[in-house]
């Protein structure tokens, strides 16, 4: 995708195709997309001979046609698939990735109380895989997003003792 082509206005035809793919709903609710998607549930639009992330087009149609390359369009609702223009906002790539890192860190801290996050099936799988020497406690801790100490307790049956 060329730098210049990025901000070329959509043709009238493409614009109509685009709007036809959005299922407008209550302004408060998330709007669904009837077109195709790319990895991570992001709507993808094919129009005027190229494929583009549909949320970027949405932003350009509703807010400003000029979109810098390092601007990312994010959702206030957390649904990547959402096409409600009231649920999107613009951010810089740097800021967005900083926040993602912070969220990840917060998630990791949340895992200090991991008991509720594992299911009985997880616990049984963990015990079985360790018994079969399929993997290490460290790898399991990473895989399930819990501490190694917690994996150790599971294996030694100091927790999840009822199964």
**Which residues in this chain contact Zn ion in the complex, by CB under 5 A?**
30, 77, 79, 82, 84, 87
Question: Measured from the CB atom, is 29 or 112 closer to Zn ion?
Answer: 29
Report residue 47 CA to chain centroid gap. Answer: 24
For residue 141, the cross-strand partners are none
Element (H, E) at 95: helix 93-110
Question: Measured from the CB atom, is 14 or 58 closer to Zn ion?
Answer: 58
CA angle 128, 129, 135 (to 5 degrees): 160
Question: Which residue has tokens 């998607």?
Answer: 37
Instruction: Supply the minimum distance, in Å, between the C-beta of residue 110 and Zn ion.
Output: 24
**Those residues with Cβ within 8 angstroms of residue 76's Cβ, 6 or more apart along the chain or in another chain:** 87, 88, 89
Instruction: Supply the minimum distance, in Å, between the C-beta of residue 30 and Zn ion.
Output: 3
Instruction: Supply the minimum distance, in Å, between the C-beta of residue 87 and Zn ion.
Output: 3
Question: Measured from the CB atom, is 82 or 146 closer to Zn ion?
Answer: 82
CA distance 71 to 54: 14
Structure tokens at 4: 């210049």
Question: Measured from the CB atom, is 79 or 152 closer to Zn ion?
Answer: 79
């Amino acid at each position: 995708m060329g730098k210049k082509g990025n901000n070329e206005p959509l043709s009238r035809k493409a614009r109509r195709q685009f709007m036809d793919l959005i299922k407008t709903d209550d302004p408060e609710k998330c709007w669904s997309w009837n077109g195709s998607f790319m990895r991570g549930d992001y709507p993808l639009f094919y129009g005027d001979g190229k494929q583009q992330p549909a949320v970027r087009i949405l932003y350009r149609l509703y807010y400003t046609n000029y979109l810098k390359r390092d601007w990312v369009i994010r959702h206030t609702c957390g649904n990547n698939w959402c096409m409600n223009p009231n649920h999107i906002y613009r951010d810089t790539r740097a800021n967005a990735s900083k926040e993602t890192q912070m969220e990840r860190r917060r998630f990791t801290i949340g895992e200090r109380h991991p008991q509720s996050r594992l299911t009985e099936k997880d616990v049984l799988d963990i015990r079985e895989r360790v018994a079969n020497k399929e993997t290490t406690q460290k790898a399991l801790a990473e895989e399930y997003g819990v501490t190694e100490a917690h994996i150790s307790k599971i294996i030694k049956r100091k927790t999840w003792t009822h199964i």
